[in-house]
Structure 1
Amino acid sequence: MRTGGILMHITSLPSPYGVGTMGESARHFVDFLQAAGQSLWQILPICPTSYGDSPYQSFSTFAGNPYLIDLDDLTADGLLDRADYAGLDWGGDPLMVDYGKLYQNRYPVLRKACRALLAAPTADYRSFCEKNAFWLEDYALFMAMKEANGGEPWTDWEQAIQNREVVALNRVRRALEGDIAFWRSVQYLFFRQWNALKDYANEHDVRIIGDLPIYVSADSVDVWAHPEQFQLDEHRRPTEVAGCPPDGFSADGQLWGNPLFNWEAMERDGFAWWVRRIAYQFEIYDVLRIDHFRGFDAYYAIPYGETTAQNGRWRQGPGMKLFRAVEASLGKKEIIAEDLGFLTPSVHRLREETGFPGMKVLEFAFDRRDGGGPAYLPHNYPTNCVVYVGTHDNETAVGWLETAHPEDVAHAREYLRLDPREGEHWGMMRAVWASVGRCAVVQMQDVLGLGREGRMNIPSTLGGKNWTWRAPAGFDSPELAARLRRQMALYGRLPEQE
């Protein structure tokens, strides 16, 4: 079964209110995907973003991002009036998310919608709260506490709250009852819209690939509520943190700063935290991409307090023990292993033993900075893989052609027989579509032929334009859908050819 898909995060969709949402523009994009012969829509994590606005650094691995809630759909539900939000300042550039404006203006509007909801809570709302209580209650309390503490990380809160002492928690639950109810109800609104969007996609023969970061943020409810699952000292501070060693792209490596898992403790309870986490993801998505798969074989540990990743060391991960526990509990699931970066024979063996498809990035085949080499050339691809021109962490195809070493670009042009008359980015996409890889996914920015201005993220950098790219209105035109559909037909990736 050969399939094609598009990588585009929800925030990148056009809308009048500062950020892409799960409303009409998302449903229109699903229509476009179906018309274009695409079977898959790959998105980035949909959890709430924290400082830096990265979807890979969240306050919760279970919660949904309130920014993605569509305000017009709330109006259609009778929870808002358009006058509540239509005249607000959502930013001056419709092609870029202004997260500062979102933070300032979105939450007062959502609070009004939640007040209307809580004035007459439905049976569906109560059912949602009961079903999700295992994460929702801690999350709502965490966010209310964070707000009450001026946004400070939980490690700076009152000591009794840091330690989750029962008397102290009951005290703040009473004091912050209204705020806790808001954070609980906004999650209901999020998942009501998410479930409707996913149902719409599935009804139109489009399946959603979700993205699961391997690590969670230090300033998250996950670490605060479950400190025993992480490598923390007696003061609940990390002993070592996550990152990547130096490579061709970064002489200092990547210092992510996430706390590392206490794999020995996790193994003792049958990896229950991970089993529940992955089970929950498959309630949300059809297919799951697990980020930084190599960290399950061996992970890079950097002493807490370091300013770069240069002084880290490799430590042994859980390997197949974790994935056997997941399969024993959940059965076979469709998982994509993000197996990029520095790979050892043991990482390859682990991925092969799981049976998960790995990832092949075409740009890596030619770029001397990455050292990907021959394994990323299309003639060497295995069938069981997901093929990309580039991911959200890479240059767009046009951007890569403009910025890579001239000899590398010349090699790519010769190997791929790129033709400026059709657009060299189309030649790069055709290479992944024509490959034997069972699944081929391209960024929407590449379909649109965007250069560096369309790049979604530059790893190891904060601020700037990371995570802000948005598509212009009308980007998903019938003409573009027809051109994509023709390529899917040529290379046997139409759903009806399966």
Structure 2
Amino acid sequence: MHTTQPRQAGLLLPAFTPRREGDLGIGDTLALRGWVDWAADHGVAFLQLLPINENGTEESPYSGISSAALDPIYLACEVGEIPGLTEADIARARNQLKAAIQSPLVNYPAVRAAKRSLLELAWSRFKHSEPSLTAEFENFKKLECDWLEDYCLFRHLMEIHGESLTWDQWPEGCRTPQEARKFLSKLRTRDAVGVDHRLDFFAFVQWLCFRQWLALRGHAQARGVKLMGDVPIGISWHSCDVFFNREEFHLDWSGGSPPEGMRQDDPFFQQWGQNWGIPLYRWDHMQANGFQWWRKRIKRLTRIFQMFRLDHILGFYRIYAFPWRPERNHEFIGLGREEAAAITHGRLPHWSLRPDDTMENKAANREDGDARLRAIFDAANGAEVIAEDLGWVPEYVRPHLASLGIAGFRIPHWDCNEHGHPTPGDFFPENTFATYSTHDHDPVNGIWRACQRTIQQHHEQPTEQTGWWVGGCHNTLRILSEFAGIPTAHHSPWPPFTEGIRLRFIKALLSSNSRYAALMVTELFSLDDRFNHPGTTGGENWRYRLPWTLEEIMEDPLLRANGEKFAAIISITRRSP
């Protein structure tokens, strides 16, 4: 399966992050189109996105209510992009969203409400559209009927019962697929035209989403830039997929990760681990039907993305399982295992299907992962597959991924030998994805500055806590300096994060032997902002927006120079497309 491919440079740019003149308070497909052109002009081979599936009322892109439906929040609401809208309609929405548009963070409730109003308005006028558009819409419904019909019913039921309620909270008579379809039949007997018109609204929105994203894919392909997607390891318990395909999931178990001896400010994480709330897959059932759910999911994904990241690849081999949903986490803080077992009828968090505690179990886990990943690789049909293989990685995983031709991650300051020295970039395996940070971490400039602040704080006002942290900060700065070839004087303070240091980091990463090397957009501009703080909800998570439009970046000599220097290093390190 493995073939040598050109070395490529990429940029992580979540869809919610870019700005453009005229947007509605969040990144959209037109803003991304501008960044595709920027990437093409600077030798950037791919733009890495986070998941773009519909999230309902959630903010995290990893909490999709459908593995197929796309999130309309990323629709570009412009004349010509949404049939039926006028300049006056869009101007009114912009006026209502003035504060949200100017905000440094996405205001999801305001943006969703405004875009929903515009889509409702466009739908009310759609019957008067050109015949070619209505024919295109009808063809879309036929081609996508295998998932679209159930999805539209699900969204209609969400609308009827209140979008704040999850399907397990719906009234009796609607909580199973059979009941939901009977309920729909009853609605149709009262007002068939009105019900079908409402179902078609949700189909119309998805048609617009696929229309815009496929157009973006076409434009990117024409410019020689690839869009990189992201496949979450799980699907929301409250999703359309789980509602209609319950035989594929264990609904009484939640996937997550074990405690790792960190994040002491989070007592549940420290004691039990992370409970993500995703239902476990019934892998035996999936394997018996040829992994059809996964194959369809990947096939749809690769219509838009030429490459994609498989989130938490370790979960395809084995996953840490909780016998309770996250809403109950607080009940178990401070309890011993026997006390917890008394509440859960003897069931405790554990590795599913089995731990990596014996050679036999490791071999069985590897065999399980092999069957699952081969099905995904086959469904990808030539798309490039990257595995997020971070955390406590069993020794059999990376050799297995290499045998499949799936690229694993390499984060330089985590990739050290037994003596604590970083692996030089030219020793990274070719089929890997090198990056300093993911969306769950500080950018490398933020890491450097945060370490310096902690060291300075301890110097000025030493405490037991800062004393515990300061050693780790010195070690992190040493490892990063070694990897990037940053000269440091013995016993001297660490230098401030300068432009010279930033360029050394970029060059070291792009000079590595890894096939893929990617910066986060925040690292491109030396911004310390984060996209997400794992283990927390709300706040600034998933809301960060660049402070400038792409036009403003190109008009400002200092900002423009960041891209020009990146392009020069891409060329020097022979990563140009």
Is this a same-fold pair by TM over 0.5? Answer: yes
Q: 1:21 to 1:77 in 2, by over 3 A?
A: same
Q: 1 CA distance for matches of 2:390 and 2:498?
A: 32
2:159 aligned partner: 147
List per-residue Cα deviations over 1:207-253 (Å, max 9, x = no partner).
Answer: 1110010110011100001111001xxxxxx2210111112443242
Pick aligned residue for 1:244 from 248, 257, 263? 257
Equivalent residue in structure 1 for 2:144, among 111, 116, 132:
132
**Aligned equivalent of 2:13, options 3, 8, 11:** 8
Q: 1:132 to 1:375 in 2, by over 3 A?
A: farther
* Contact persistence 1:90–1:101 (CA under 8 A): no
Cα deviation for residue 78 of structure 1 reads 4.4
How far apart in 1 are the matches of 2:410 and 2:141?
40
Between the aligned partners of 1:372 and 1:178, the Cα distance in structure 2 is: 66
Q: Which residue of 2 aligns with 1:473?
A: 549
Match of 2:170 in 1: 157
Say which of 111, 124, 128 aligns to 1:115. Answer: 124
1:385–1:437 contact (8 Å) kept in structure 2: yes
2:182 is aligned to 167
Cα drift, residue 73 of structure 1? 4.5
Aligned to 1:345: 395
Inter-partner Cα distance in structure 2 for 1:227 and 1:373: 47
- In the TM superposition, residue 381 of structure 1 has moved relative to its aligned partner by 1.4
Contact 2:82 2:122 in 1 (8 A): no
CA 186–80 in structure 1, closer or farther in 2 if over 3 Å, else same: farther
* 1:408 matched residue in structure 2: 475
Query: SS at 1:11's partner residue?
Result: coil
Q: 1:119 to 1:162 in 2, by over 3 A?
A: farther
The alignment status of 1:314 with 2:314, answered yes or no, reads: no
Deviates more, 1:262-271 or 1:88-97: 88-97
Tell me, yes or no, if the aligned pair for 2:412 and 2:422 is still in contact at 8 Å: no
Q: Does 1:65 align with 2:71?
A: yes
Deviation at 1:267, TM superposition (A): 1.1
Alignment of 1:155-234 (within 5 A): 155-165=168-178, 166-172=181-187, 174=192, 176-231=195-250
Q: Match for residue 484 of structure 1?
A: 566
For the 8 Å contact 2:231–2:310, the answer to whether it is kept is yes
Judging changes above 3 Å, is the alpha-carbon distance between structure 1 residues 427 and 170 closer, same or farther for their aligned structure 2 residues? farther
Indicate the residue corresponding to 2:457 in structure 1: none
Check the 8 A contact 1:74/1:113 in 2, yes or no.
no
Report the CA distance shift for 1:112/1:377 in structure 2 as closer, same or farther (over 3 A).
Answer: farther
Separation in structure 1 between the aligned mates of residue 234 and residue 196 of structure 2, nearest angstrom: 30
Deviation at 1:84, TM superposition (A): 4.2
Query: Percent of counterpart pairs with the same letter?
Result: 27
Relative to structure 1, the CA distance from residue 86 to residue 324 in structure 2 (aligned partners, 3 Å threshold; closer, same or farther) is closer
Partner SS state of residue 124, structure 2 = helix
Q: What's 2:510 paired with?
A: 433
Instruction: Give 3-state SS (helix, strand or coil) of 1:455's partner.
Output: coil
- In the alignment, the residues of structure 2 paired with residue 269 and residue 295 of structure 1 have an alpha-carbon distance, to the nearest angstrom, of 20
Per mean C-alpha deviation after superposition, the further-off stretch among 199-208 and 97-106 is: 97-106
The alpha-carbon distance between structure 1 residues 442 and 415, as it changes in their structure 2 partners (threshold 3 A), is closer
How far the C-alpha of 1:79 sits from its partner, in A, is 2.9
Any idea what SS the aligned residue of 2:78 has?
Answer: helix
Distance 1:159 1:10, change over 3 A: same
Q: 1:427 to 1:226 in 2, by over 3 A?
A: same
Query: Residues 240 and 273 (structure 1 numbering): CA distance in 2 closer, same or farther, change over 3 Å?
Result: same
CA-based RMSD: 2.5
1:468-496 alpha-carbon deviations (Å, 9 max, x no partner) = 1111224642533322110111111011x
Q: CA deviation at 1:118?
A: 4.0
Aligned to 1:303: 323
Residue 29 of structure 2: SS of its match in structure 1? coil
> Which has the greater radius of gyration?
2
Matched residues, number: 483
- Superposed CA deviations along residues 304-361 of structure 1, whole A, max 9, x for unmatched, are 2451799521123631112333455664442111111111123224313322010112
Determine the C-alpha separation between the residues in 2 that align with 1:373 and 1:45. 35
Q: 1:344 to 1:414 in 2, by over 3 A?
A: closer
Amino acid at match of 1:47: N
Mapped partners of 2:41, 2:376: distance in 1: 36
Alpha-carbon contact 2:13-2:521 (below 8 Å) kept: yes
Instruction: Report the 3-state secondary structure (helix = DSSP H, G, I; strand = E; otherwise coil) of the residue aligned with 1:284.
Output: coil
Structure-to-structure mapping, 1:409-424, within 5 angstroms:
409-411=476-478, 412-418=480-486, 420-424=497-501
Give yes or no for contact 1:35–1:482 (8 Å, CA) kept in 2.
no
Q: What is the distance in 2 between the residues matched to 1:270 and 1:78? A: 43
Question: Structure 2 CA distance, aligned partners of 1:379 and 1:459?
Answer: 31
Per the alignment, residue 467 of structure 2 pairs with none
After the TM superposition, which residues 238-277 of structure 1 pair with which residues of structure 2 at under 5 Å, given as runs? 238-250=251-263, 251-252=270-271, 253-277=273-297
Q: List runs of 5+ in structure 1 lacking aligned partners.
A: 232-237
TM-score by length of 2: 0.79
**1:365–1:377 CA contact under 8 A, matched in 2:** no
